[in-house]
Amino acid sequence: MPIYEYHCNDCGKDFERLVLGDEEPDCILCASKQVTRLISRCGFITKGSSGETISSSASNSACSGCSATTCSTCSH
């Protein structure tokens, strides 16, 4: 049973909800049915060339100067 993230179009609240089947959730703050499902970030773990574990997020990088997940690759 997946947990999805939603945004209420009426009050602006973002919230998470466990969704069963084809259930249409309502806002946890104002009970509105005018909600939009958000695309959630996902995390992953990879092994570096020397075997170290590198944790990351699909939308975050460790440094704003490049798209690398660690600063050791760009020296920032």
- Model confidence over 36-54: pLDDT tens digits? 999 877 666 777 777 676 6
Distance between CA atoms of 13 and 35, rounded to whole angstroms? 9
pLDDT in tens, the chain (76 residues): 688 999 999 999 999 999 888 888 999 999 999 999 998 776 667 777 776 766 555 444 445 555 555 555 555 4
Backbone angles phi, psi at 61, to 5 degrees: -125, 160
